[in-house]
Amino acid sequence: MKKLKIGICGWGNVATGLYKVIKDSKLEIQEKSNLDIEIVVIGARRDNPKCNPLDVLIERDIFDVLDHDIDVMVELIGGVEVARKLLLSAIDKGVNIVTANKAVLYHHGDEIFLKAKEKNIQVLYESSVCAGTPIIKMLTEELAANKITKISGMLNGTSNFILSEMEFGADFDETLVFAQKEGYAEPDPTFDIEGLDAGHKIGLLSSIAFGTNLPPEDFHIEGIKDLEKIDFEYAKMMGYTIKHLAVASMDDKQIQLRAHPALIPNESFLANMKNVRNGIEIQTDLIGSVHIAGSGAGQESTASGLVSDLVYLSRLNNNNKISQHEDLNNKIKIQNFGEMKFKYFYHIKLSEPDIDLEVVKNIFIKNQISISSSKIFENETGNSSMIVITDYFKNENKQVFESMLKNIDSVSNFKSIIIES
């Protein structure tokens, strides 16, 4: 039986989860993989009251982990700059790497992967995107013969949990507090609810699927905090639900990259992904659409992906190396958000019950925006809301159109959400 000696850097929820899974599932891992994973050392700046590893040496300086006889360093400290230094130090010392840190790879991935390639060191990061759901191995191996044209899905478990609850009438703020109590959201949830986490993840997946550099050029990222319960009610009446969608697609040697709330049809695969689950749809040329789903948060799910990388790494040898970023100089153009065309859902709040709706519709016509369908709904206060589904129009026309909409006296407020077909 092969032995793999590892050092774990970090001692938070993910690290303690990995420790527990390796200990509790030791026999199962050995039986399935013929591999004995030995945790030699843990780098922990402080103790974790939830887990006390009495059988493992603790180093208070995480960089000292690299001074021990280990085959793999598992980086779980999070953050960017210290993690970058740690990963580069591991490469310099000839230690292979497994990480769940999407932020450091997004910001410094090109540097890290290039140096790793020069030193013949492996950097595996399955758990950095969608926890244990094996999306990265799907792209690099199972779909290797396919030309991938589009990746879309919910890549942040926290956002998907909140929106799933709001779909059934929950309030955003109350749901966020509940998610924090249950451990689905961080004490500071900004990274999740502002869409940054999903943006980093789709940037990584785009790099793998289309060969872009990391990080990609600036692209459109929008969060979920401005969504209201009423948006879900009206979307449902029109045959849709609302998800936070991350999208990467390739067309004519340029990439469309974005992460934002979107209406998707109720009957679609992604619409049925509830709670903290991630759901991803991959469009390919050879086998059509591929769907993959799994838990997007939690100790066990992330640990599953980390162990998967450790097992995979143990099966490699000097003549069987992998590289997920062969062409680091392949700078492909990212399409400007204003050049993209979308259908939009408009929720227009009307301050007067008996206004001439033709005034509102004429604003669409003047801006050459075709209306696919529209409905008027009255609320409990006696005021009305106009729901409009548009046909496709260029995003660069949106700002001028919406400034005209604001100037209509009878329009008190409005909201627009992209419709993903």
Of the residues 102, 201, 243, 398, only one is catalytic, namely: 201
**Range with the largest mean pLDDT of 49-58, 62-71, 249-258:** 62-71
pLDDT tens profile 151-184: 999 999 999 999 999 999 999 999 999 988 887 8
For the cut 70, the answer to whether the pLDDT of residue 361 exceeds it is yes
Asked if 349 is an active-site residue, the reply is no
Interior/surface letters 121-137, b for 16+ CB within 10 angstroms, e for the rest: bbbbbbbbbbbbbbbbb
Residue 118 in tokens:
């020069």
Give the pLDDT of residue 319.
Answer: 46
Of all helices (H) and strands (E), which one includes residue 354? none
pLDDT tens profile 223-240: 999 999 999 999 999 999
Q: Is 98 helix (H, G, I), strand (E, B) or coil?
A: strand
- Give me the mean pLDDT over the 241-258 stretch: 92
Give the pLDDT of residue 340.
Answer: 94
CB-CB contact of 123 with 87 (8 Å): yes
CB-CB contact of 196 with 221 (8 Å): yes
326: pLDDT confidence band, cut at 50, 70 and 90? low
For the cut 50, the answer to whether the pLDDT of residue 329 exceeds it is yes
One-character DSSP codes across 128-175: GTTTTS-HHHIIIIITTTSPEEEEEEE--HHHHHHHHHHHTT--HHHH
Task: Please report the domains of the chain, with CATH numbers, ordered by start residue.
Answer: 2-124 (3.40.50.720), 135-293 (3.30.360.10), 339-419 (3.30.70.1150)
For the cut 60, the answer to whether the pLDDT of residue 323 exceeds it is no
Of all helices (H) and strands (E), which one includes residue 213? none
For the cut 50, the answer to whether the pLDDT of residue 300 exceeds it is yes
- Backbone φ and ψ of 378, nearest 5°: -100, 140
> To the nearest whole percent, how much of the chain has pLDDT over 70?
94
CB-CB contact of 149 with 249 (8 Å): yes
Tell me the C-alpha distance between 190 and 196, whole Å: 8
Q: Work out the mean pLDDT of the chain and round it to a whole number.
A: 91
Residue 12 in tokens:
């938070």
pLDDT tens profile 261-280: 999 999 999 999 998 889 99
- Give me the mean pLDDT over the 242-260 stretch: 93
Give the pLDDT of residue 325.
Answer: 53
